[in-house]
Amino acid sequence: MTRHEDVIVVGAGIGGLAAALLIARTGRRVTLLERIAEPGNVGAGLLLQPNGLAVLDGIGIAPALRAAGHAIPAADVRRPDGRLVMRAPIVDHGPGLDHALAVRRSVLHTLLHDEVTRCGLVTTLLGAEVDSVRPRGSVHVAGTTQTLEAALVVGADGVRSVVRASGAFDAVVTETRATYLRGTIEGHDDVLHGEYWTSLGLFGGAPLGDGSTYFYASAQSGPVAAAMARRDLPALRALWADALPLTAPLLGAVATYDDLLVNDVTRVDAARWSDGALVLLGDAAHAMAPTLGQGANSALVDAAVLALELDAADSPARSLEAYERRRRAPVRKVQDAADRVTRLSNLSGSVRTRAVDLVLRGLARVGPVSLRQDRVVQQEDPAALRESLSRLGGPRADP
């Protein structure tokens, strides 16, 4: 059986949900496919930056997010003894876009999913695992005789993207050997004051606005990696308590090793982001290290720009060309910058101390450098992006 749709979005993560919503606002019918039959409260915390908040404000859920999250005015970096190495205030991009927001990933996912449910132009199929895709826009759902066809298939299906594997994207997938652990605990919202760079790597986090605390940490130093290989939570606690004493109550509140989320970092570089009727966004196109906090934020910007270009162009092919032209180079810069921060934060000994002080103190002193770095990280002007989304799908002037 074959069904014909305007747009198919494969993957109902944050980027896929946002893409489905925003593309539907251009007047297109969207079918959203998700392989998990009953999505649960997956993930830990998330740091939304002005670019991501601009997109979510354009969707209409930023007020609910702000009510559920915790505003962060600056990205502080500290020594293990708490001394400030760098204070970097979040650049003010306009009302509501002058801070970062720490929030539970599950809260964001639920708000987006609820918005999709209310949208009359999006049909969501859960438990629909895609096993093959053709560049002409044909999608087959595993275990069924059902084939869906669409003028556009959006691959928002992550690092191991089936859509990407089905097209000529010439992607390079690099296993970086970098690993991070994350978790959420109840209470302890007054312990972390920014990000700490230690002999074991970085450790950071923030309150989540609901009485809980989100934390994340490097996990590639030899002793930490060995403890994790043994799934030895007491040893992990002891190592971090020695390197950064304030972690003791945080990791002490983790009940079992399985309560930690462990993520191996994979980098994805797609030479092309579209092939025929197929187009990529989020991790499927550009998975990156988490050290700049731009994974989910960049996926949200992808979704916004793709919808805006679909709304503006007179043909799907031209819209995909414009989307890739606008997104691929800026995202590559963020990927490269995130890799540099990863290497710097994991240096050890006196080399690390000198390098961290030189780089971070230099950035903190020179305002224009910080502003240029912000433009690189944000990728799009958040205020302009929000304004463009407010007009999405609206009447066009006659040519």
Query: pLDDT tens across 96-121, in order?
Result: 999 999 999 999 999 999 999 999 89
Do the domain assignments include residue 277?
yes
Global confidence as pTM:
0.93
Q: In percent, how much of the chain has pLDDT > 90? A: 76
2 bridge partner residues: 147
Q: Are 304 and 55 in contact (CB under 8 A)?
A: yes
CB atoms within 10 A of CB 15: 31
CA dihedral 354, 355, 356, 361 (to 10 degrees): 90
What's the domain range around 9? 2-73+100-174+266-390
Do the domain assignments include residue 19?
yes
- The position carrying tokens 């490269």 is 336
Same domain, 229 and 115: no
Tokens of 237: 């606690």
- The position carrying tokens 């994979």 is 266
Do the domain assignments include residue 93?
no
Same domain, 196 and 317: no
pLDDT level of residue 179 (50, 70, 90 thresholds): very high
Same domain, 358 and 299: yes
The phi, psi pair for 108, rounded to 5°, reads: -60, -45
Same domain, 198 and 219: yes
- Total tally of structural domains belonging to the chain: 2
CATH code of residue 259: 3.30.9.10
Looking at residue 88, its pLDDT comes to 80
Q: Are 238 and 197 in contact (CB under 8 A)?
A: no
Q: What is the C-alpha separation between 134 and 149, in angstroms, rounded?
A: 9
Helix (H, G, I), strand (E, B), or coil: what is residue 329? helix
Same domain, 119 and 187: no
**Of 223, 244, 264, which marks where a domain is finished?**
264
Tokens of 384: 């302009």
Q: What is the C-alpha separation between 172 and 286, in angstroms, rounded?
A: 10
Same domain, 193 and 124: no
Q: What is the C-alpha separation between 116 and 34, in angstroms, rounded?
A: 13
> Is residue 351's pLDDT more than 90?
no
Helix (H) or strand (E) run with residue 235 in it: helix 233-243
Q: What is the C-alpha separation between 71 and 393, in angstroms, rounded?
A: 31
Do the domain assignments include residue 292?
yes
371 bridge partner residues: none
Same domain, 166 and 181: no
CATH code of residue 39: 3.50.50.60
DSSP state of 287: -
Q: What is the C-alpha separation between 223 and 149, in angstroms, rounded?
A: 51
Do the domain assignments include residue 90?
no
Beta strands, E only, the chain: 2-10, 30-34, 45-48, 70-72, 77-78, 84-86, 100-104, 122-126, 130-134, 138-141, 147-155, 171-186, 195-198, 201-207, 212-218, 261-270, 274-275, 278-280
Same domain, 317 and 257: no
pLDDT digits (tens, 9 = 90+) for 269-322: 999 999 999 999 999 999 999 999 999 999 999 999 999 999 998 888 999 999
Tokens of 313: 């162009």
Same domain, 274 and 384: yes
**Of 212, 236, 264, which marks where a domain is finished?**
264
29 bridge partner residues: none
Tokens of 363: 């950035």
**Of 228, 243, 264, which marks where a domain is finished?**
264
Same domain, 312 and 211: no
Contacting residues for 269 by C-beta, under 8 A, at least 6 apart? 171, 172, 174, 286, 332, 335
> Is residue 188's pLDDT more than 70?
yes
